[in-house]
Structure 1
């Protein structure tokens, strides 16, 4: 028997090859196994034909594989690769003007001498790196065509997202797509993400949320090591980070890495130089990534990734370009506030359990003044949008103002562990309590803010939860000093009722927050009559809030522009000692809100 030529490895090392000596035996065994499988399939096919004939049912199509059609595979096709292929190199490397210059980026030097393709960074400012891919003309093969979600349900979810929810992310998520068909042909991962976010907000789609979310996660995992991603892919990651609270931290960090890989922030200079609409679209994605990054930084008490370079701090320059729209004002207004919040975080640093130094009192006053100036400017500037999207833009500014003030002044409770607030921080302590109370009262009394609970990013839900728990802890540790306990109990109870009455899916944060907050309030604060407010059936609660608890509640579309910035949740025990600090409090990985976290604060 001819053993065949030696393998590449033995040839290179001038060795006697033993692998090919048994190659023929291996081929014969695999061939015998294939013939046996084909024969067994034939028997099964024949038996099914007989059963179908007896039942007068249509016959099966003939087998496409049989023993006579079997072609012996070649040894090179039948045997697994014996060696791991090395990294790919560029046979025709790009010629760069920098090749002749003294290198200043180390990776460029390594690429020049190795030509390893994986080391090659894309040219800065190459907008084609995030260009949308051409829509395929062949039939779409996705989770909808496979029947995991019906076409009717998918169409309903996409319409809900495009007509209602996308407004909260400044109309960036949907891009050029205005219907399901074009979306499916343009981007499978964007389709899955949009359906997942819409199902999260729709009380009629609880059974679809898990399916859509799993498909989005599957596509994300499959694309993790793709050399490049297109603009629609980046939109999908932004959407997931903005609304899917249990995935946001992972998605945000990954998206920022991919964005820096193609130097997305350099689009800023192209907008200023050329008024490029495509470059402005890239900047909108970059700004949403900045917002998501800094929202998460506030929620978790961790450092942010994106720094305030020229593309971030120079947003005012963009406002003077022809491609800057009225809707873009909402986007940059949020960035302007987060720049202030970033400076606050840099000053106070991480919570190490120590009280805030007295010297910070003047800084608190200074930052508070900046937040007030921010509100004064943008409530006036966004009034121009009312003719298009209603009253919510300026109301959203006021809500963000309250939350920013709460975040800023709550630092004075850091490290006290229930001890009295020092006299030089009393004004800030009162300001924090006032901001938390104003947040909840605005949620309860303003129709546009209540309606926005369906659609706003999970950051705002988290901050509203913080305001509620902050007041409960103030009533526990500083009873009657800054606010009456009965007022805290009343506000908290009404907030719980409002959360329950909001028509969203059962996995949405507002529903997940309700039970835990109710138990915390009842555990720590007694009502005036020393009785709890019972849950109410459909109708009107004692607070006067309309309460609907129905799985079939329809989700109304926004008609007055409610758009802007955009498990068991009860906890194990509510008897832990409270510590009003500024540590992170959200444990999204478990899907639960832990209202008993001892460092609950921001």
Structure 2
């Protein structure tokens, strides 16, 4: 009994002493069954059937010899070892991605040590998954003749994907993996659906149960829990953040993404400032891959599933344009059929009140796209006479959008009067970046040429009015203050830029603009006070915490110094008399490097990983006035 168990403990051990090949068997079976039965010579030739069986039409088979069995067994062993190695490699990647080194600690038990096998490396010494080879998908193309002659070229080829290594969605579930309990995840989902989601016109669309979210997208579940933990100042935010990033990275090269994966990326993009641009870029790509932009046609015909897909595409469009401004990069989504049909979308069968808020944003950003395409990004070029009227026409468009939607939108059960007040804030920020073009080319030859001087003064004053209105809203409106721990990071950027803008204009970048320097300092001081109070209970990683701290530091540095004496409270600040050292504004560099280059804010870097605007460098280069969208 013991001998039998020992023999079965290592079924391949007998072969090892013979090297790679199985032992040779001297007696081999060479005759077929029919010839052996007749005990006559079997002329097999190149293989069955033999000459006799072929001539007589007999079935010609050869029993497996011991040699053939051994060779087959050795072949099976080789293939199995190859598959086990591939499985180990895949498990290593999963362990790295999930930050679970314990998965790598399992050692296979062999009866004998394999000298040819390379020693296992410690998990920490292995290459990062990013450095490992990416194996491309194998696929074949099936030519499809069902498409008409006017079809999109790529539609005539249907790729048949050979299954590769795809993320295991069940293994990505943060509840299954023990990151959160069901109760914790439910609490986070409740906060998100009862509050946060309504600031963004309901990214989820229809209300979901926890089971529904878990089933369709672990990425969406992780995004919701991460963002809710941030706004609850929960201790597990950091771990959830890393989980979300890991799952999002694993999904990047997947060919099996769905609409809820897009929703998960949007949740991350709107609220997680450090990875906003990365998330929205991936969301745009996924949205176009699953053809969200083509759902508008069936939406207008009353199809509810396509209605939900279309409103998701509008959210992708809005998010893309939010951060095209913040990052100063051209938007990836354009004025396509879906965007042009936004008014018709509101008249479709399934449209609701939140869709009106959604479309109001589409309208704002459509104008923003026109501004960007009309005026470009050259901030060194002063305005000329032929640019003034287009700027005014864009301003009129924004006025009309504000008037229409302020009147149409009503109080919301979840976020109060934010629908109307949000339009008010978006309007003034849109006006701010439109009218701040008045400062383009400041200090360059041709700036404020005689034929445009009065027009530029008018535009500049309008820009200051919008910036100060944003700040006064933050100071004076308790409801908006209550929403700051919930609004997407775009609003934090808006407040930061308005603060820096008024300080710049009131101390250096002003020309023929009446600015009450004392009032500006008092205004910014009140903003800092309010922000510090609001952020006192926020998670330290919330972007507004950095905005509050950085604005306070900047205000302390902005102490006007006159060359001839003190400024009166209603001083007429001019370009020819700078009031303090240029190095004050260079806040773009710190030891950690920028999180991103904020083009709209010139060289200002508000989203660094460390204290924003705390480290002022003595650099003689003064940052340029921010270019426009």
Q: Normalising to structure 1: TM-score of the pair?
A: 0.69
In the alignment, which of 443, 467, 477 is matched to residue 498 of structure 2? 467
1:489 alignment counterpart? 521
1:369 alignment counterpart? 396
1:254-312 CA-partner distances (Å, limit 9, x unpaired): 11111111211111000112x11111110111001100111111222221111111210
In the alignment, which of 428, 443, 452 is matched to residue 402 of structure 1? 428
* 1:83-102 equivalent positions in 2, closer than 5 A: 88-90=138-140, 93=142, 95-98=144-147
**Displacement, 1:481?**
3.7
SS of equivalent to 2:236 = helix
2:609 is aligned with 1:591: yes
1:132-170 CA-partner distances (Å, limit 9, x unpaired): xxx98xxx8743444434555434333222221111111
**Displacement, 1:494?**
1.2
**Displacement, 1:314?**
1.3
Distance 1:94 1:169, change over 3 A: farther
- For residues 65 and 577 of structure 1, the distance between their equivalents in structure 2, rounded to whole angstroms, comes to 55
2:217 is aligned with 1:187: yes
**Displacement, 1:182?**
4.5
In the alignment, which of 501, 516, 531 is matched to residue 533 of structure 2? 501
**Displacement, 1:217?**
0.8
- For residues 582 and 231 of structure 1, the distance between their equivalents in structure 2, rounded to whole angstroms, comes to 31
Query: Is the 1:160–1:198 contact (alpha carbons within 8 Å) kept by the matching residues of 2?
Result: yes
2:251 alignment counterpart? 223
2:33 alignment counterpart? none
Structure of higher CA gyration radius: 2
* 1:153-552 equivalent positions in 2, closer than 5 A: 153-173=184-204, 175-178=206-209, 180-203=210-233, 205=234, 207-273=235-301, 275-383=302-410, 385=411, 390-417=416-443, 422-477=453-508, 478=510, 481-502=513-534, 503-525=537-559
Distance 1:173 1:370, change over 3 A: same
Aligned residues: 469
- For residues 269 and 598 of structure 1, the distance between their equivalents in structure 2, rounded to whole angstroms, comes to 47
SS of equivalent to 1:574 = helix
Query: Is the 2:195–2:415 contact (alpha carbons within 8 Å) kept by the matching residues of 1?
Result: no
- For residues 188 and 166 of structure 1, the distance between their equivalents in structure 2, rounded to whole angstroms, comes to 18
Distance 1:464 1:85, change over 3 A: closer
**Displacement, 1:199?**
1.8
Distance 1:583 1:387, change over 3 A: closer
Query: Is the 1:351–1:582 contact (alpha carbons within 8 Å) kept by the matching residues of 2?
Result: no
SS of equivalent to 1:498 = helix
- For residues 184 and 530 of structure 2, the distance between their equivalents in structure 1, rounded to whole angstroms, comes to 28
Distance 1:287 1:515, change over 3 A: same
Distance 1:525 1:260, change over 3 A: same
SS of equivalent to 1:97 = coil
Query: Is the 1:252–1:293 contact (alpha carbons within 8 Å) kept by the matching residues of 2?
Result: yes
**Displacement, 1:85?**
8.6
Task: Choose 515-524 or 432-441, whichever is displaced more.
Answer: 515-524
- For residues 136 and 438 of structure 2, the distance between their equivalents in structure 1, rounded to whole angstroms, comes to 57
- For residues 577 and 462 of structure 1, the distance between their equivalents in structure 2, rounded to whole angstroms, comes to 15
SS of equivalent to 1:160 = helix
- For residues 374 and 506 of structure 1, the distance between their equivalents in structure 2, rounded to whole angstroms, comes to 36
Query: Is the 2:587–2:604 contact (alpha carbons within 8 Å) kept by the matching residues of 1?
Result: no
**Displacement, 1:232?**
1.5
- For residues 526 and 152 of structure 1, the distance between their equivalents in structure 2, rounded to whole angstroms, comes to 55
Query: Is the 1:237–1:255 contact (alpha carbons within 8 Å) kept by the matching residues of 2?
Result: yes
Distance 1:340 1:189, change over 3 A: same
Distance 1:65 1:516, change over 3 A: closer
Distance 1:417 1:164, change over 3 A: farther
**Displacement, 1:576?**
4.2
Distance 1:506 1:96, change over 3 A: farther
Distance 1:208 1:482, change over 3 A: farther
- For residues 449 and 588 of structure 1, the distance between their equivalents in structure 2, rounded to whole angstroms, comes to 22
Query: Is the 2:432–2:464 contact (alpha carbons within 8 Å) kept by the matching residues of 1?
Result: yes
**Displacement, 1:193?**
0.8
Query: Is the 1:242–1:457 contact (alpha carbons within 8 Å) kept by the matching residues of 2?
Result: yes
1:51 alignment counterpart? none
Query: Is the 1:471–1:488 contact (alpha carbons within 8 Å) kept by the matching residues of 2?
Result: yes
1:424-483 CA-partner distances (Å, limit 9, x unpaired): 311100000011111111111112211121211111210111111100001111399432
Distance 1:586 1:229, change over 3 A: farther
SS of equivalent to 2:139 = coil
Query: Is the 1:246–1:588 contact (alpha carbons within 8 Å) kept by the matching residues of 2?
Result: no
* 1:43-58 equivalent positions in 2, closer than 5 A: none
**Displacement, 1:195?**
1.3
**Displacement, 1:583?**
5.3
Query: Is the 1:267–1:282 contact (alpha carbons within 8 Å) kept by the matching residues of 2?
Result: yes
1:45 alignment counterpart? none
1:559 alignment counterpart? none
Query: Is the 1:379–1:394 contact (alpha carbons within 8 Å) kept by the matching residues of 2?
Result: yes
- For residues 323 and 159 of structure 1, the distance between their equivalents in structure 2, rounded to whole angstroms, comes to 25
Distance 1:116 1:293, change over 3 A: same
What's the C-alpha RMSD, in Å, of the aligned pairs?
3.9
* 1:561-580 equivalent positions in 2, closer than 5 A: 574=584, 576=586
1:469-508 CA-partner distances (Å, limit 9, x unpaired): 1000011113994321111111111111221222421111
Query: Is the 2:326–2:600 contact (alpha carbons within 8 Å) kept by the matching residues of 1?
Result: no
Distance 1:174 1:198, change over 3 A: farther
Distance 1:404 1:354, change over 3 A: same
**Displacement, 1:387?**
6.8
Q: Normalising to structure 2: TM-score of the pair?
A: 0.66
